[in-house]
Amino acid sequence: MAVVWCLQQRLHSLLRRYSLSNMARHNRKPDELLPLTSGMFHVLIALADGEKHGYAIIKEVARRTDGAIRLSAGTLYTLIRRFVQEGVIAESAERPDPALDDERRRYYRLTPFGRDVAKAEAVRMELTLSMARAKNLIPRTRTS
């Protein structure tokens, strides 16, 4: 149970670290958006390493999950619309060279608030997995 306590402390620490100015701007704390659906979390994971356009997000989610999660364009753009309204992601003003890209594409990036939401969800999931391990529902991981 020490692992569960440690994970709970990490989640609380992350939430305390979240600045009052961000909370005032978004009027929310990261944990207020939790739990995320699987698709939502995978979109945030796809954007964690940099900006992407919608089709690139769809392809990365499918690739990372070996096709287990396939987002339709309608689902993705519904999530994007919600995330933009919540301040989780933002449309990027920077564009690739027009000769190398389709000018109709819109690129999206995680905001600092969005990164905190993704981190809070990862910690929440880690806490849930540690509870499942404590109940012998999944094997305990070995540390070397």
pLDDT of residue 143: 67
pTM higher than the cut 0.85? no
The per-residue pLDDT for range 37-59, each reduced to its tens digit, is 999 999 999 999 999 999 999 99
Q: 94 falls in which pLDDT band (50, 70, 90)?
A: confident
pLDDT tier, 127 (very low <50, low <70, confident <90, very high otherwise): very high
Which residues contact residue 44 at a Cβ distance below 8 angstroms, ignoring those fewer than 6 apart? 36, 88, 89, 110, 114, 117, 118, 121
pLDDT at 81 over 90: yes
Burial of 125 (0-12, 13-18, 19+ CB in 10 A): middle
Between 94 and 39, whose confidence is greater?
39
Give the start-to-end residue ranges of the domains of the chain: 2-134
Give the contacts of 9 (CB within 8 A, at least 6 positions apart): none
Mean pLDDT, rounded, of the chain: 86
Q: What separation in angstroms does the CA of 144 have from each of 6, 71, 131, 141?
A: 19, 37, 21, 10
Average pLDDT over residues 55-78: 97
Asked whether 134 and 4 are in contact (CB, 8 A), the reply is yes
CA 30 from chain centre, in angstroms, equals 11
At 140 the pLDDT is: 83
Structure tokens at 78: 């519904």
Q: Name the residue type at position 35.
A: P
CB 52 within 8 A of CB 46: yes
Identify the CATH number of the domain defined by range 2-134. Answer: 1.10.10.10
Smallest CA-to-CA distance from 89 within 117, 61, 111, 118 is with: 111
